[in-house]
Chains A and B, each alone.
Chain A
Amino acid sequence: QKEVEQNSGPLSVPEGAIASLNCTYSDRVSQSFFWYRQYSGKSPELIMSIYSNGDKEDGRFTAQLNKASQYVSLLIRDSQPSDSATYLCAGRDYTGANSKLTFGKGITLSVRP
């Protein structure tokens, strides 16, 4: 298993719906998790971070972390066409001398007007 996996996608939802993006991780990755949004041709942009079990809400975005099941999810409520992008899940990899972020391959979200 890769350290961070995003296997579902691409995902298409109608405008106003809830988009649910999921990510699983291995034992090498722990403690800190991040969701990045990347528009086509642009660089990744940090939108959410989560460090402890449970939910963390920021506007229309909710990140969920379940350490027992080793998954992280991102919910986007009231999805808008401007949310159409690739979403990257990342976790901190503690192998080696220094920790660094390891990324999943990303999930492409399309919000239909």
Chain B
Amino acid sequence: NAGVTQTPKFQVLKTGQSMTLQCAQDMNHNSMYWYRQDPGMGLRLIYYSASEGTTDKGEVPNGYNVSRLNKREFSLRLESAAPSQTSVYFCASSEAGGDYGYTFGSGTRLTVV
């Protein structure tokens, strides 16, 4: 049982480059989330998808776009990477509403130079 799978695990980008972070879950969860984690800042919500076909902005959406491709997959795109987007990115999924908490993927460590 893989749970939540994120790719890639590590990535170095140059300023202005674009990339897509991939996330897939095999738990039949309705809701999926993208967080970023920075030292001293905790986990901050970027975007989330409460159910297939819907997406909503979180606390820090600027510079990002998302796509809920189907029930399993939720991708995060950086169109023009900036050094301020250097962070660890976590994807998570949950039952609708998150009553049982979230299951997190292993994370993507992104460095923008």
Contact = CB atoms under 8 A, between A and B. Distances in A.
Contacts of A103: 35, 42-44
Most chain B CB neighbours (cut-off 10 Å) among A44, A49, A100:
A100
Interface in B30-51: 31, 33, 35, 40-45, 48, 50
Contacts of A44: 43, 90, 102, 104
Interface residues of A, number: 23
Interface in A24-61: 32, 34, 36, 42-46, 49
Contact of B43 (A46, A88, A98): A88
Centre residue among B42, B45, B56, B104 by max chain A CB count within 10 A: B42
Given A46-B103, A100-B33, A105 B42 contact: yes
Nearest to A97: B56
Nearest to A2: B42
A104 B42 contact: yes
Contacts of A46: 101-103
A99 interface: yes
Interface in A63-113: 88, 90, 92, 96-106
A102 B48 contact: no
B42 A49 contact: no
A51 to B, nearest CB: 8
Contacts of B41: 105
Contact of A34 (B48, B101, B105): B101
A98 B97 CA distance: 7
A58 B65 CA distance: 39
Contact of B45 (A32, A97, A102, A104): A102
Given A34-B101, A103-B44, 10 more contacts: A44-B102, A46-B101, A46-B103, A49-B101, A88-B42, A97-B50, A100-B45, A101-B98, A101-B102, A106-B42
The 3 closest A-B pairs by CB, nearest first: A105-B42, A98-B50, A43-B104
